[in-house]
Chain A
């Protein structure tokens, strides 16, 4: 099975005419098959609008958002091609979960046996005949996911799927998404919290105010985040000067009250080498992982 790549190219969406609001601003990225991609950004950064453009629910002002090479409504069989779970409110409150899925299955030409399969998959079999009005947020999330899985699609597009899930549910979701990607699926998961998806995703697409901030492997970001070293040296001030002189503009060196140096932008190996070259005695040298969440906030310019 050849994988399906999602292609967002120069996507721009402006809402409203009198007071136009640019929700997505010249956004380009691709989402690869066989990987879980985290689509990250603060609330209101344009994630949901982008996903809805991909799904044909919102029409782009300019640019394109393609599933493989097609727009969503050109797909011959959308439910079998793409599974989508958007916000968990799209259910008739008086309809049971099972009947909601049977409505979707009928429209997609899928057998009703798939309905019972996906209810089982998401763990809603026992609650399947209850009306959605009685469902908790977490159960609605599971139901939305069940609907996404009905057509056994090659692409999963999930908007904040972990919202309202209990820790057990989040762990299950993590395992499930990894499993889907491992079988060749293209998985795009949005979240406004990096730490929520940190253990799940391979790639990240980070946006802020509708613009791309960073796209690439999560490991690259983690590598950036690890460029912090802690140093203790008797000649702290001299070492600080050495490091400042050797590093580029991004390197900052702070001397703490206890005389310890915090070096941002250099690995421990680089610091140790410079100290050795400049005959500087070291008492302690350690790498410190910068809090990814803080890095994420810096990248997205969040004020949280």
Chain B
């Protein structure tokens, strides 16, 4: 049947598998998270003169700080978002959208299938990044005296990352459908995350939890712990399920607007 989801999933998965882009971005995401873990561990260990650890004693003895280290998994989220953006907007960039719509003229289904596949892909990425981060954390912590890496800390970070990355990938795909220009979509996402939302969270923390990045942090339930300086408090977060719903809402809204606008446009 034209546009059956099993066929679409198979086709989309082949698209992912047969180009390097996804694996390169995944690799960068892993490296980025691990670099954060190493940096935070060294800074807290007290071995670097002038660092927080040297000034106030070995922070690694605090179990919360260990959770913060593990929560650096969340740093990979931005790359998962970009992955989703590139997966959809890349179809327009390389004009593979022509052959995609020729084999599946029901365009909405293509978008839904891509969102579904990348949700799974985001979740798998979360598992991989978490596993590697745990190993790297164990290795980098080994020379120092530190609080134990507990299964419950790993579990909560993993659960948060699986939900957060899955939703972030969906947001990325829907954003890529809405803004067909790959470069514009990626730049907009980065400027939003690094500049606009960072500013809003500083100036209007009560608002920021309703924004995509704030909702993602709530969904991953790591905002407080991921920010060891304590700038954000629990009051500035939504409950994890609320954050997940808000994020899903963004994806649905983007996808709905896209399906009424960009998705209907002529492919020329």
Measuring CB to CB, which residues of chain A are less than 8 angstroms from any residue of chain B?
A: 15, 48-49, 52, 55-59, 72-73, 75-79, 84, 86, 89-96, 99-100, 102-104, 106-109, 147
Contact = CB atoms under 8 A, between A and B. Distances in A.
Given A73-B105, A79-B103, A93-B94, A99 B268 contact: no
B7 A90 contact: no
A71 B245 CA distance: 38
16 contacts: A52-B267, A55-B102, A57-B101, A58-B268, A59-B264, A77-B1, A78-B2, A78-B102, A90-B97, A91-B96, A92-B15, A92-B19, A102-B18, A103-B14, A103-B15, A106-B10
B88 to A, nearest CB: 13
What 5 A-B pairs come out closest when comparing CB atoms?
A73-B105, A107-B11, A99-B18, A107-B103, A106-B11
A58 B266 contact: yes
B98 interface: yes
Contact of B96 (A57, A58, A92): A92
- Find the residue from A15, A72, A78, A91 having the highest chain B CB count within 10 A: A78
Q: Is the interface of B mostly helix, strand, loop or mixed?
A: helix
A106 B14 CA distance: 8
B227 to A, nearest CB: 38
Contacts of B102: 55, 57, 78-79, 84
B107 to A, nearest CB: 8
Contacts, number: 93
Contacts of B7: 106-109
B14 A99 contact: yes
Nearest to A132: B94
A90 B98 contact: yes
Given A48-B268, A90-B97, A91-B96, 17 more contacts: A15-B266, A52-B266, A52-B268, A57-B98, A57-B267, A59-B264, A77-B1, A77-B2, A78-B105, A79-B102, A79-B103, A90-B94, A90-B95, A90-B98, A103-B18, A104-B99, A109-B7
A107 B8 contact: yes
B100 interface: yes
B62 interface: no
Contacts of B97: 90
A107 B268 contact: no
Contacts of A103: 11, 14-15, 18, 99
B106 interface: yes
Contacts of B14: 99, 102-103, 106
Interface string B97-137: 11111111110000000000000000000000000000000
B165 to A, nearest CB: 24
Nearest to A150: B103
Given A92-B90, A104-B11, A107-B104, A49 B268 contact: yes
